Amino acid sequence: MKNHIVEYRKKHGLSQDRLAERLGVSRQTVISIEKGKYSPSLPLAFLLAKTFNTTIEELFVYEEDKEGKKE
């Protein structure tokens, strides 16, 4: 799933380590989310949105694959 986590993280002056600390996850989890290799749980997505004072819809990009499946 594509997202805007890197942009929001940098806009708020947070390192990956600091964001991970705030979220209660590992730095590797933050890296995986940023790269779109890991989709966060709904509670973690809400926490990300709250951390950046925005909405889940602003952070994550909804896409369909070539076969029309939702990603």
Taking the CA of residue 1 as centre, how many other CA atoms within 13 Å lie in the half-sphere pointing to its CB?
A: 18
Q: What would be the CATH architecture of the domain defined by 2-60?
A: Orthogonal Bundle (1.10)
* pLDDT value of residue 1: 83
| Mean pLDDT value across the chain | 92
> Any idea what the Cα angle at residue 16 is, between residues 15 and 19, rounded to 5°?
85
* pLDDT value of residue 62: 81
Strands of 1-71, DSSP E: 2-3, 60-61
Single-letter residue type at 47:
L
- Rounded to two decimals, the pTM is 0.84
Coarse DSSP helix, strand, coil percentages of the chain, rounded to the nearest 5 percent = 50, 10, 40
pLDDT tens across 41-63, in order?
999 999 999 999 999 999 999 87
**pLDDT at 68 > cutoff 90:** no
